[in-house]
Structure 1
Amino acid sequence: MARRAEVLEFAVLGLLHESPMHGYELRKRLNTALGSFRALSYGSLYPALRDLLDRDWIAEAQQAIGSSGSRRARIVYELTQTGKERFQELVDQAGPSAWEDDEFAVHLAFFARTTQEVRLRILEGRRSRLEERLAQIREVSVRNRERLDAYTTALQRHGEEQAEREVRWLEELITTERNTPHTETKE
């Protein structure tokens, strides 16, 4: 399965863990709350939903629209027990893929359902990944300083500042997490 499809699966299961939703609401929440899906189309969402239905991780339910009965019922998707188990498996993963841009955002969105140990591992891994990226940006910047035009230099500077800001933000999250008493996940 492609990386983006796996992240979409994780995000959909996580949102449905919160409450049942219809396709339009799911797409809206994916686009706004989990910024990594800004360009998500129905052409991507509905095949993903079909796959989750086929795996028995979600189920469809009919929701009546209005009292007139003239409009057809809306399909609402809800998590099954096996879907809840699959979501928990995904939430508990703290390996290198959880540190990457899109997957990190989804993990962060569902940190309330993650153990403190997993949260720390993901935050520290993300920080490490960004520090590596920052070192590469700086190295390229120094090596190519004379050959770059003003716009490319500004773009590199922007990338460096962005990475520095995120490293500082991660440091704050890690410090807060370490200073917070150990808590279990909520179901």
Structure 2
Amino acid sequence: MHGYELRKRLATLLGTFRAFSYGSLYPTLRRLSEAGWISEEAPLDAPSGTTRSRRGKRVYQLTADGKEHLADLLAEVGPDAFDDEGFGARLAFFAQTRSEIRLQILEGRRRKVEEQRDGMKSSLARTGERLDRYTRTLHEHGLESVDREVRWLTELIEHERTGADDGAGPTTP
């Protein structure tokens, strides 16, 4: 697909809060091309009778090496797969990820979020009485969000362990 379409697809997959600017997208595409992981097709001429924009659209496609590199990346499980940004990107590619890898990532993410939740509970217990009611409710709201994520991750893990694929999938956080 071409750059504009790719940017739209990434926004759909990763969400609008992880939007790619054209200033970061095109240099990344150039680096991927230089590495041999994608190929670029030159713009085609517009059909006769239509106006042609000043610059045609380049079409990008994964190469065989690029597909192999993507498979290698999807098989890696490390701490970056559990943080907010890494987990979101990995989740977007779960359909192409092996089940045992998905399970490792989900369990690692749940451990990380549970640690975050424990820290938030501890902090709220220590400082809760000293906080004004608005700040306290803000902290409680954050804790509720983290609790929801732990429940959602637990549901995903159970779904993955049972291998059930009813098409409905787990609920969203």
Shorter-chain TM-score bucket reads 0.7 to 0.9
* In structure 2, C-alpha distance between the alignment counterparts of 1:54 and 1:44, rounded to whole Å: 16
Aligned-pair distance for 1:136? 0.4
Which is worse superposed, 154-163 or 122-131?
154-163
Q: Is the 8 A contact 1:59 1:80 kept in 2?
A: yes
Which is worse superposed, 34-43 or 47-56?
34-43
Unaligned residue ranges in structure 2 (runs of 5+):
165-173
Q: Is the 8 A contact 2:10 2:19 kept in 1?
A: no
Q: Is the 8 A contact 2:81 2:105 kept in 1?
A: yes
Structure 2 match to 1:55: 35
Which is worse superposed, 119-128 or 147-156?
147-156
2:121 maps to which of 122, 134, 138: 138
**Matching residue's letter, 2:153:** L
* In structure 2, C-alpha distance between the alignment counterparts of 1:75 and 1:25, rounded to whole Å: 11
Aligned-pair distance for 1:58? 0.8
Aligned-pair distance for 1:39? 3.8
Which is worse superposed, 116-125 or 55-64?
55-64
Structure 2 match to 1:122: 105
* In structure 2, C-alpha distance between the alignment counterparts of 1:99 and 1:74, rounded to whole Å: 36
Structure 1 match to 2:56: 73
Matched ranges for 1:19-168 at <5 A: 21-35=1-15, 38-64=18-44, 66-67=46-47, 68=50, 70-71=52-53, 72-168=55-151
Aligned-pair distance for 1:54? 1.3
Aligned-pair distance for 1:132? 0.3
User: Against the structure 1 CA distance between its residues 36 and 163, is the aligned structure 2 distance closer, same or farther, given a 3 Å change threshold?
Assistant: farther
User: Against the structure 1 CA distance between its residues 150 and 64, is the aligned structure 2 distance closer, same or farther, given a 3 Å change threshold?
Assistant: farther
Aligned-pair distance for 1:125? 0.5
**Matching residue's letter, 1:57:** W
* In structure 1, C-alpha distance between the alignment counterparts of 2:152 and 2:163, rounded to whole Å: 17
Identity, % of aligned positions: 51
Aligned-pair distance for 1:175? 0.7
SS at match of 1:33: helix
Q: Is the 8 A contact 1:63 1:73 kept in 2?
A: yes
Q: Is the 8 A contact 1:56 1:82 kept in 2?
A: yes
Aligned-pair distance for 1:155? 1.9
* In structure 2, C-alpha distance between the alignment counterparts of 1:48 and 1:54, rounded to whole Å: 10
User: Against the structure 1 CA distance between its residues 165 and 65, is the aligned structure 2 distance closer, same or farther, given a 3 Å change threshold?
Assistant: farther
Question: Could you give the per-residue CA deviations for residues 12-65 of structure 1, whole angstroms, max 9, x where no partner exists?
Answer: xxxxxxxxx111111112222212753421111111111111111111013537
Q: Name which structure has the greater RCO, CA cutoff 8 Å, separation 6+.
A: 1
